[in-house]
Chain A
Amino acid sequence: MTVDIEPLLGKARTDIGAAPDARALEQLRVDLLGKKGRVTELLKQLGGMAPEARKAFGERVNLAKDELARLIDARRRALTDAELSRQLAAEAIDVTLPGRGETVGALHPITRTIERIERIFAEMGFASVAGPEIEDDFHNFGALNIPENHPARSTMDTFYVQNGRKLLRTHTSPVQVRTMERVVREKRTPPIRIIVPGRVYRRDQIDRTHSPMFHQIEGLYVAERVTLGDLKYDLMSFLSRFFERAVEVRFRPSYFPFVEPGADVHVRWSGGRWLEILGCGMVHPNEFKAVGLDPERYTGYAFGMGVERLAMLRHDIGDLRLFFNNDLRFLAQFRP
């Protein structure tokens, strides 16, 4: 006796392929392959068969069982995948919408420039120090070899406070004096290697290139054998590092009462122009005397540079007033 299982099998294949969801598929599995399933039931007919036929039929049924189990698994995977796809599609977002939350602010370009200069000099062993913005005549002028009524004083038109008893410092150079005084007072000795960033004040009307307040960085190196050659090297190396290229530098004799020999430092800029970048020179012996250091034993160099000027060159800024308007549309460009 043979039982034709093909019709059953055929229908089962169709049903599995058409099962709409996981639950229907499970039902189908129970119907077919469960303990009382139709395929399982077929095996019960084995008892009435001749050994030969029984073997052949048994194999066929088992093959059918395996095939259906595979089909059910495949269908289940397909249904799960489809379900996930539907879920993913439903969860999709517009990734081009902007992110939420706070946006980033920025440091002022003057601060950036000061920090950059500080970093460069820190690597050369210069400590950054500060000093008062309201100064006395001695520290701002007298100790810096700028005597009473010297024409150099009229070139730095000065803001005064307290009926002329004090003044707003016209340069950061008084901190040179204060630093050397402290070394002497504390009975220490040079080397002294400092830079001094800070605000300075001169009575200039505000325009594209002038401001009654601006920032300077002073430098001072005092030791037993500091020479003009050291000054040249250190500033040339600073300028190349600051501008991130090997800049052409020239030193031109100039006059600042507190240095001698004194120089202006120029950098070759686009179009071959020489731009004045900073002033410098060897510390004047009168300044050493004013603070109580022996000018025969110690020599030193000093320099002073305008932070705004360096920032304007580095960032191609054409108007000094932009630094002090604090326009967010300007400041926001310094986020990077």
Chain B
Amino acid sequence: MKVSIGWIREWARVRASDAQLAERLTLAGIECEAEPHRTDLRDVVVGLIRDVQPHPQADRLRVCTVDAGGKQPLTIVCGAANARAGMKAPVALPGAALPDGTAIKQAALRGVESAGMLCSAKELGLAEKSEGLLELDADAKVGVPVAKHLALDDAILVLELTPNRGDCLSVLGLARELAALYGLTLTGPAPRAPTVASTKKYAIRIDATRDCPHYAGRAIEGIDPRVRTPDWLRERLRRSGLRAIHPVVDVTNYVMLELGQPLHAFDCAQLHGAIRVRRAKAGEALALLNEQTVELTPADLLIADDRGALALAGVMGGAKSGVTAQTTEIFIESACFAPERVAATGRRLRLPSDALYRFERGVDPTLQRAALERASELIVAICGGRAGPVTEAGARRPKPVTVRLRRARLDQLLGHAIPDRDVEALLKRLGIGMKRIARAGWHATVPGHRYDLRLEVDLIEEVARMYGYDRIPARPYAAPLTPAPVPERQPAQLLRERLAARGYFEAITYSFVDAALQRQLAPDVTPVPLDNPLADTMTQMRATLWSGLIPAWQYNQQRQQKRVRLFEAGVCFGEGAGAVAEQERVALIAAGPAAPEQWGVPARPVDFFDVKADLEALFAGVGGLRFEAAQHPALHPGRSARIVRDGAPAGWLGALHPRLVQALDLAEAPILAEVEMSALQGLALPHPAEPPEFPSSRRDLALVLRDEVPAADLLAQARGVGGPLLRAAGVFDVYRGAGLPNGFKSVALSLIFQDNSRTLTDEEVDAAVQAVARRLQEAFGATIRGESSGGVDQGGTGRSAV
């Protein structure tokens, strides 16, 4: 909300500057800023156009004779269509500088001397856009500076109100708050009820009393709809961002800004019978002021007459029943509607309005009569007419809300004892009635405008707020510590650090992803679509982290980053049996060269085994891990592995499927991996054995066998037969090609034997190697191509070429 500070100051005579006043309110929880208002309209005065003649040289220009308070009338050339004799308008005299920088000089316009310029609102910086001259009040004093006539020496208070402080959505509310903060007496409002000069009245019936606790209304007959809303009222509306529309509507808006009570004016010519406040019937429709027709439900509250719906209570008026330029008889509504009722309708129909904004935050249920009198007074003063008697329905004086405030509770929550005297004084300033309960605290009576004060804790906040949060001392940390057991390593933290140490950068991608991409990456997962996505490329929750990492890789590739290593740790979403499941995972993407570009090392593209090593580093210390050949719809069928831990699937590793590389128009096939975070849990606590003191013996074994035999099976068999003396078995070379039959490969195994209590003899080791060789022959049909003795395995001596 925006509102003139000058207006507020009429009722709260604060000495502080505009900026100080805004700061004081802000520190009291009413967040606002004072925006200076333009006042430097030097040499722009009120002028009276006495005569308008056509310009001899230009069809679109006219020559006006203007009285600007000087001895001689001025001749001013003007292009505005609305210039007419008898009209008052701003005149910028020679020497004036307009807000847009235009310097006004005496000058000839198409051959006619012009002694200044007649101005529009836009030219004076009073509107973003405007048509024609700014018309001023007919009784504005000629020659008076326009800045004075319009009281432009002002500032605007721009508020960001929290939803609990609807009571501050008015000049009255802000003046009241300021008076409380500065300890001043509020000097307004003092509405004068107009004389009742008509007998016209409408019966009011409230069917839904809970939705509408109070309704007041009155008719005013014989108004003149052609009058112009006076400048002082227009200006105040303008400073709140409202345009003058119609004198009656302008007054209802003015009173809403002034007192915080939204009002509505009906054209009596469109009313038939009694006014009713009722719930809508299912399927009932209403054409609204904004030219929208809405279908209503029994959850919506209506103002209706005998013929049907007139307005959406507290939200928006109807198109047919509102005031027009022909209206001469009006009925003004000043009602209190329940916040939750109005909010429900506003939210469902997405109809923002100033009335709704106030009603959903709570309008003072005691304010309706006063606001109605104030509006009547202004309308009769501006438009003339005869006010009828006020009709009211519902609770005229709602039962005041009383809340108990306990002394002990106040201290318990604040940790600081504010003296009784101060507590009473601070709350009384807010208009809260304080009745002491012997030693225990108070009964506080809350004023009608404070919807937010219903609980004891609400009052405690008010005490703290008025006292000042800064005056409540900070209490040094005194809580007893209850230290918890410290886990050895945190897997989530460890994995990030390990991956970063291996050259990966951590990415954070949006959890909502492109559905088309995801359908290709995780066709087997039922995704979780968003009901209300923000963009076409963010329509469903990620089912795999790859849905975010692949675009992140592309983003970098488009920026000349050839070598990309990214990882992300986060939640993936899927739906099963109607329920949403969340799984924490970590995923990797690697593309481009295997190593950073460097001298002395031939460049090659990253491959499966590079990333497998990264995964093995991740899983270091986690037992029971296995990679097995398996097919994944998004991965190359010959280059993908399921990761299995303790027999349970734990993730995937592989090259992106060539079909997808093509479909996604990618430059290369990245290597992808994704692992369940749960599989990384349970890091073994090391309980190390002492390193053996006796030397180990290494033997190398070269085998030729069928291509499809997995290395893992080979090693498993070797370990199975090698017995406790076989300490380690590994693959150190694989060869295919010349010298081998098609479909066969040569694999070189290293076998390391050791005993903790003695040096092994050659015979023992030879026997063990023979056993391994025999087993591999039996199990896989492997032929032994060579065997060599490494002797004592120190520094890798004695390896034979295979």
Contact = CB atoms under 8 A, between A and B. Distances in A.
B475 A203 contact: no
A262 B464 CA distance: 10
Interface string B736-777: 000000000000000000000000000000000000000000
Interface in B498-520: 499-512
Interface in A66-125: 97-98, 100-108, 110-111, 115, 124-125
Contact of B413 (A147, A203, A299): A299
15 contacts: A108-B506, A133-B511, A134-B573, A151-B343, A201-B511, A213-B512, A227-B416, A229-B415, A261-B457, A261-B461, A284-B457, A299-B412, A327-B556, A328-B505, A331-B506
B571 interface: yes
A229 B561 contact: no
Contact of B531 (A127, A163, A332): A163
Report which residue of B508, B541, B573 has the largest number of chain A beta carbons within 10 angstroms of its beta carbon. B508
A255 B29 contact: yes
Given A228-B414, A252-B29, A103 B596 contact: yes
Interface string B471-493: 01111111111111000000001
A329 interface: yes
A98 B599 contact: yes
B159 interface: no
Contacts of B502: 102, 105
Interface stretch (B77-85, B160-168, B231-239): B160-168
B552 to A, nearest CB: 4
Interface string B199-230: 00000000000000000000000000000000
B565 interface: yes
Given A149-B347, A154-B347, A159-B534, 10 more contacts: A105-B502, A132-B582, A150-B163, A191-B479, A223-B479, A255-B162, A261-B465, A262-B461, A329-B559, A332-B505
A201 B531 CA distance: 14
Contacts of A174: none
A212 B533 CA distance: 10
A152 B165 CA distance: 12
Nearest to A98: B598
A283 B775 CA distance: 70
Contacts of A201: 511
A30 interface: no
A227 B506 contact: no
Contacts, number: 235
Contacts of A326: 505, 507-509, 552, 555-556, 566
Contacts of A223: 479
B470 interface: yes
Contacts of A155: 163
A324 B531 contact: no
B559 A327 contact: yes
A166 interface: yes
A255 B564 contact: no
B455 interface: yes
Nearest to A285: B457
B400 interface: no
Contacts of B361: 151
Interface stretch (A12-20, A33-41, A55-63, A232-240): A232-240
The 3 closest A-B pairs by CB, nearest first: A227-B415, A253-B29, A229-B415
Report which residue of A104, A223, A228, A236 has the largest number of chain B beta carbons within 10 angstroms of its beta carbon. A228
A291 interface: no
A234 B478 CA distance: 10
B711 to A, nearest CB: 24
Contact of A100 (B28, B477, B598): B598
Nearest to B484: A127
A230 B506 contact: no
Interface string A298-336: 010000000000000000000000011111110110000
Contact of A104 (B360, B500, B508, B600): B500
B477 A234 contact: yes
Nearest to B569: A111
Interface string B589-614: 00000011011110000000000000
B496 to A, nearest CB: 6
A215 B657 CA distance: 34
B532 interface: yes
Interface in A252-269: 252-255, 260-263
Interface string A161-193: 111101010000000000000000000000101
B622 interface: no
Nearest to A263: B469
Interface in A5-31: none
B416 A134 contact: no
Nearest to B548: A326
A105 B532 contact: no
Interface residues of B, number: 90
Contacts of A331: 505-507
Nearest to B533: A159
Contacts of A253: 27-29, 461, 464-465, 469
Nearest to A286: B455
B482 A125 contact: yes
B132 interface: no
A105 B567 CA distance: 10
Interface in B117-165: 162-165
Interface in B533-578: 533-534, 538, 541, 552, 555-556, 559, 561, 564-566, 570-571, 573, 575, 578
A221 B496 CA distance: 29
Contact of B469 (A104, A154, A237, A252): A252
A149 B479 CA distance: 38
B734 interface: no
A217 interface: no
Nearest to A252: B27
B58 interface: no
Given A125-B479, A161-B580, A328 B506 contact: no
Interface in B9-30: 26-29
A213 B458 CA distance: 32
Nearest to B598: A100
B460 interface: yes
A242 interface: no
Interface string B440-479: 0000000000000001011011001100011011111111
Contact of A102 (B162, B470, B496, B503): B503
B667 interface: no
B571 A212 contact: no
Contacts of A124: 477
Interface in B639-670: none
A273 interface: no
A292 B785 CA distance: 75
Contact of A228 (B413, B510, B598, B600): B413
A312 to B, nearest CB: 14
A250 interface: yes
Nearest to B30: A253
B379 to A, nearest CB: 31
Nearest to B565: A105
B497 interface: yes
Contact of A106 (B28, B339, B505, B532): B505
B473 A229 contact: yes
A282 to B, nearest CB: 6
Contacts of A138: none
B635 interface: no
Contact of B532 (A111, A160, A233, A237): A160
Nearest to B28: A253
Nearest to B480: A191
Report which residue of B534, B541, B561 has the largest number of chain A beta carbons within 10 angstroms of its beta carbon. B534
B549 to A, nearest CB: 9
Nearest to B411: A227
A225 B464 CA distance: 18
Nearest to B596: A103
Contacts of B360: 149, 151
Contacts of A111: 496, 506, 508
